[in-house]
Structure 1
Amino acid sequence: MRTKPMRALATMAATITISTTALLAGTAHAAAPADLESLVDAAVTGHLRDDRIPGAAVTVVHGGRTVLAKGYGVADVRTGTPVDAERTGFFLGSLAKLFTAQSAAQLVAEGEIDARADVNDRLREVVVPDTHPGRPVTLDHLLTHTAGFDSDLVGRNRAAAEDVEPLAESLTTRRPPRVRPPGETAAYDNYAYALAGQLVAEVSGQDFPDYVDARVLRPLGMTRSTVAQPHPERIARNLARGYRPDGASGWIEDEGQYGAWSPAGPGAVSTAGDMGRWLVDQLAAGSAANRLMQRVHYRQDARLPGVGYGYEEWRSGGRTG
């Protein structure tokens, strides 16, 4: 299983690519670590030049360890601060859904949540309307994008973390309609992942950022990652700026990376080094939660890739990953 957003994570400021040489194992393209850095150097510098990206960071893991972690370009075009793979934080966008899926999968593996039960059985601050009687929304639906909510992102994000409303409030006041019965169609669903984060919070008795910090980030030594808004100062001061190309040679700083639906991605930050630590743990697949995430839980059609918790199958060259 592989998560679609993990192919390339792009922020307005830069690009983080999280990769693994395990995906190349047994192919003619497998590169020994000695050859890897020059291969990545050529690819990344080319992308920065062609796509006019100020900076990037790359981590490659193989054999249960990080074999390359390197920064390219600058994190701030005004100060010229270079990108550092271990220190420079980037907004994760939808890669943060993996933290949400992992958090929920932990509670399922521990018997705290029944993934096939009506989420209303455990929610107190938020209620899912009974739009389709007898067809309740479950955690399994939320994590496989099959809950049936409409897609509506307009006006959700904020320029400043201080302007973000509480998660439960936004899930109630900004809830999109249920446009199809759950379990019928996979359609990318940010609201569903935000609701999954609320379920984690209510079942665990912890705020969602506190749960993720205690159960996902800290155990792996991911000390420069957070889903909290505002960010802790030690993380905020090393955050890459967000830019869009402006004119022939410049950039304009952009904002809008914060939002109440943080379990779906807004506001979450990590470094390339920290994401390498997370990926090493996922590839080991040692925990029940990790195995649960990487198992196919929904397939629209036998001919199509399946969907796990936070992941989707990836097929190439006759191989499935």
Structure 2
Amino acid sequence: MIDTPYEDADLLPATRRALLHRLATGQSEGRAPSMVGAVMRDGHLVWSSGRGELPGGARSEDVQYRIGSITKTFVAVLVMRLRDEGLLKLEDRLGTYLDTPAGGDATVAQLLSHTSGLAAEARGPWWERTDGALRPELGDLFGDRPQLHTPGRLHHYSNPGYALLGALVERLRGESWYAVLRREVLEPLGMDRTTLAPVAPHTDGWAVHPWADVLLPEPAVDTGRMAPAGQLWSTAADLCRFAAFLLNGDERVLAARTIAEMRTPEGGPKDQGWTTGYGLGLQVVQRDGRTLVGHMGTMPGFVAMLLASPRDGLAGVALANRTSCFEAGGVAADLLTTVADLEPRIPAPWRPLTEAKDEHLELTGPWYWGAAPFSLRLEAGGALELSPLGAGGRAARFRPEADGTWTGLDGYYAGETLTAVRSTAGGRVTHLDLGTFVFTREPYEAGAPVPGGVDAEGWRAAEAGSGAGAGAGAGGGAEGMPEETAPVR
């Protein structure tokens, strides 16, 4: 029995007690032979503990569990590395690079985001409990109906889709996907306990009888061609290292900019108060006002969950060795939010810019889209932040480009171009063009190139008794309209 928190933790005693209570509750109510939990904060493992039967003498954060579909996120990182190197484009058809009997019409991005339309599972028998030697070839992955939906039409989770992505990596690198993963990702990130097959100390997988507290061992097979969909084994410590990478990137593996792209959701279902989506190899969850990114993994005998919060610099990990122990997902999320709520992140100290270009400072201050007020601020990192000043309105951040334009980083304007338009005479900024939306220094500024023009008479007050601004007098007009009621337009 192991129930001692990680000895190097720098969390408060009350926080450690709350974390241990949540883990213990999850293991007990989930009827898991064992469960391990861990918390990463600002790049460091700050807490880990285990409940139940673990290999004797092993530290909770160092015990291997099978992590199932979290494997997909690792494969997605390999694909994004190929993209960043210019070896493929996300909009390319898979068939451009891989001779496959199904899935060739889907783009790489559609396979990454589970919008390829491929079937959810490989053809029988149940691949997660069947030795992969039965399907070494791509043609053996698919049944009679491999393509269920038009590519790009909707989100439909596909395990064979990630087997194809693993084969894509092998085709472009010329060696096994796992060899590439170890050299290009695991070794740079220091994840030496993440492996293709179990390495001691590790747990065994179990099924728990639904109506009795008895166990049945689950097989731990090599899934062969399907391995990129769920083969890997890992530890709480290694997954915390991976979580730190998913929040901050690592120039040796993927830049932060690419990681942020992976975290952008393509779509997904809503269920039981959890709003979920799927980016490029990452699940994205809205929970308790936070955006969490990561992945869940299930294999016979195992359930794993990794969730990270970019806003808080935190991640929660939960690993259990029981089939369908879905309590692990809630445990990982609650470990994260417990620390976030009890020990909220202390903001970094404000510091002034060390460099600011005059042409960038010129853009700051109030702007108006029509009559709606906005502010534009220059951030410490050199980005512009557009914020509505009234109720509603679209906010976004923009990064500077070499040609003098700005590119939207998030929200409605993600990927859109912001251009500061200058007069030909004095070079003064006359207005902003944001994807055809014109922002001016004054509300519907006279003489500005506002689409549709600005009335030559300008702003005016409503005449007494007219329809515009009517409501004078206690009765509000001949119809007795209440004074606060706006006319219907």
Flag whether TM exceeds 0.5 (same fold): yes
Residue 199 of structure 2 corresponds to which residue in structure 1? 236
Matching residue within 174, 191, 194 for 2:141:
174
Residue 277 of structure 1 corresponds to which residue in structure 2? 241
Max Rg structure: 2
Residue 264 of structure 1 corresponds to which residue in structure 2? 229
Q: In structure 1, what residue type is equivalent to 2:60?
A: A
Q: How does 1:132-151 map to 2 (within 5 A)?
A: 136-151=105-120
Residue 155 of structure 1 corresponds to which residue in structure 2? 125
Matching residue within 66, 85, 88 for 1:91:
66
- When the two structures are superposed, what TM-score results if normalisation uses the length of structure 2? 0.50
Q: How does 1:1-321 map to 2 (within 5 A)?
A: 32-75=11-54, 81=56, 84-124=59-99, 126-128=100-102, 136-153=105-122, 154-157=124-127, 159=129, 163-165=131-133, 169=137, 171-176=138-143, 177-226=146-195, 228=196, 231=197, 235-246=198-209, 248-260=212-224, 261-265=226-230, 267-286=231-250, 287=255, 288-296=257-265, 298-299=266-267, 305-321=276-292
Q: In structure 2, what residue type is equivalent to 1:92?
A: I
Listed one character per residue, the Cα deviations across residues 262-320 of structure 1 (whole Å, up to 9, x for unaligned) are: 1111x310011110111111111351442332123x2369xx75431122332234444
RMSD: 2.6
The answer to whether the 8 A contact 2:90-2:108 is kept is yes
Q: Separation in 1 of the partners of 2:219 and 2:46?
A: 33
Listed one character per residue, the Cα deviations across residues 142-172 of structure 1 (whole Å, up to 9, x for unaligned) are: 0110101122354243657xx4228751x31
Q: Separation in 2 of the partners of 1:113 and 1:245?
A: 45
Q: In structure 1, what residue type is equivalent to 2:174?
A: G
1:100 is paired with a residue whose SS is helix
Higher relative contact order (CA 8 A, sep 6+): 1
Listed one character per residue, the Cα deviations across residues 228-263 of structure 1 (whole Å, up to 9, x for unaligned) are: 3xx2xxx43322111122464432212255412111
Q: Separation in 2 of the partners of 1:100 and 1:270?
A: 15
If each structure's strand is expressed as a fraction of its own residues, which one has the higher value?
A: 2
Residue 11 of structure 1 corresponds to which residue in structure 2? none
Q: Separation in 2 of the partners of 1:300 and 1:94?
A: 17
CA distance change for structure 1 residues 114 and 198 in 2, over 3 Å: closer, same or farther? same
The answer to whether the 8 A contact 1:90-1:271 is kept is yes
Structure 2 unaligned spans of 5+: 1-9, 270-274, 293-489
Q: Separation in 1 of the partners of 2:221 and 2:17?
A: 32
Structure 1 unaligned spans of 5+: 1-30, 131-135
1:129 deviation in Å? 6.3
Q: Separation in 2 of the partners of 1:285 and 1:268?
A: 21
CA distance change for structure 1 residues 315 and 166 in 2, over 3 Å: closer, same or farther? same
Q: In structure 1, what residue type is equivalent to 2:227?
A: S
The answer to whether the 8 A contact 1:157-1:256 is kept is no
The answer to whether the 8 A contact 2:58-2:201 is kept is no
Identity of aligned residues (%): 24
Q: Separation in 2 of the partners of 1:74 and 1:281?
A: 30
The answer to whether the 8 A contact 1:88-1:238 is kept is yes
CA distance change for structure 1 residues 166 and 251 in 2, over 3 Å: closer, same or farther? closer
Q: Separation in 1 of the partners of 2:19 and 2:78?
A: 32
The range that moved more, 284-293 or 172-181, is 284-293
